[in-house]
Structure formats: structure tokens, C-alpha cells
Amino acid sequence: IRNLDERFVHMPGTGRKRVVLILDADYMTDPAANCFLKTLEEPPIDTVFILTSSRPEYLLPTIRSRCQLVRFVHLSREQIARVVYEGRDDFLLGSPGEVLALRESGIVDDVIDIFRKTPMNTKSAASIALRCGKKNIDVVDLYYPLLLLYRLVFYRKLNISSNSRYENDVTKKAKSLSLNDVIDTIALLNQNVFTLDSNPNKLLHLFNALLRLP
């Protein structure tokens, strides 16, 4: 905790904010908890703290009173059955919860259409950006599935089959791109996710990204 306090002297390395994740916060010793309490009383303005605990009652009451409680629960048997027995892990995520979230959001249906149209011209990119604006689609919700699709292309370039429902589209894209092109695209999408919060015009950010996707 004291080492953490020393790092707050410096600005975030990238972006305008940073997140401090403290796993199993209830395992903090009393001296560590009291030291951390001082930080919570006057937190850095650019920092968000996330504390996880399966035993929040073991945290100091003064720490609990300064936190917003967000409960996480296990997936129900019905949800797990839907993911494991009914469907497939199309993006090789290995996480039933994440697979279920992607499936229920329906966002991949929009993204696969974008994936098929890349590379695209200025008119097409502008049209998609405007449509996303009208639908109030969060731009990061587009970047993430696109990143997963290009990751499947990367696997295909390494002759690793995903057996997903998007295999035909992924194979077609893999034939048209070099391995370096795929790696550069994944790096581009990763960078766009990181810089999105610092860009006031999300649609322009998306428009520029669409023009650069191969």
C-alpha cells in the first residue's frame, strides 16, 4: 500500500485516468488498511479504486463507508448451459460470462458487417460512423468485437482453426492480408481502445479507425 502511495506522485502513464485494482482487499493487515484509508479520504483526482472481496465484512467499516458496493454473482445453471451446451465459443475467449455477454448484446451482427466491408472508402466509413451515432452505439463496443475478429484472422494465419460461425469470413480476410498486416491491425485497435476516452469526438475517432482497417 505504501508503494502504491508513492506512485500517485506521478501522472498516469497513458490516458487521463488510472485504475487501481486491489484483489481480496479483506486480506489487508490492519496497518495496511489504515494506511489505505488515508488515501481513500483524499483520493487522487485521476484515480479510480476497485476493491474485490468475498468477505466485505472483514474490511474496516471506514473503508466500506467510502466505497460503492457492486455485487457480482455466479452465472446461473441456465446461463452456463446456454453457453456450454447450446452454443460455441466463437472467439476462443474461454469465459462463459463473456461469451454470453457478446451473444446477448447482438453487437457482433453489426461488427461482422463492418469486418466484411473493410478496407473501405471515405463514404462507407462516414456512413457507418453516422449510423452508429444515430443508434447511440458505444464506439468501444465496436472496437472490441473487431479486435476479436482480427485476432481470429491472426490465428488463421498461424493455421489455428477456431471452428466459429465466422470462419469463412475470417479465412477470406486471412488470405488477403499478410501476418504483419494483421499484427499491425490488432495493435491499431488496441491503441484505439486506450485513446478513446481522451478523444472528445468518438464518431470522428471511429471514422479514422475504419479508414485504416485492412
With vertex at residue 201, the alpha carbon angle to CA 207 and CA 198, rounded to the nearest 5 degrees, is 110
Q: pLDDT band at residue 6, thresholds of 50, 70 and 90?
A: confident
User: How does pLDDT run across 169-202, given as a tens digit for each residue?
Assistant: 999 999 999 999 999 999 999 998 888 877 778 8
Q: Which single residue is written with the C-alpha cell 488510472?
A: 18
| Residue closest to 75 by CA, chosen among 95, 97, 93 | 97
Whether the full predicted model's pTM is greater than 0.75, yes or no, is no
User: How does pLDDT run across 90-133, given as a tens digit for each residue?
Assistant: 888 877 778 878 888 888 888 999 999 999 999 999 999 998 88
With vertex at residue 10, the alpha carbon angle to CA 9 and CA 15, rounded to the nearest 5 degrees, is 140
Do 110 and 142 meet the contact criterion of CB atoms below 8 Å apart? yes
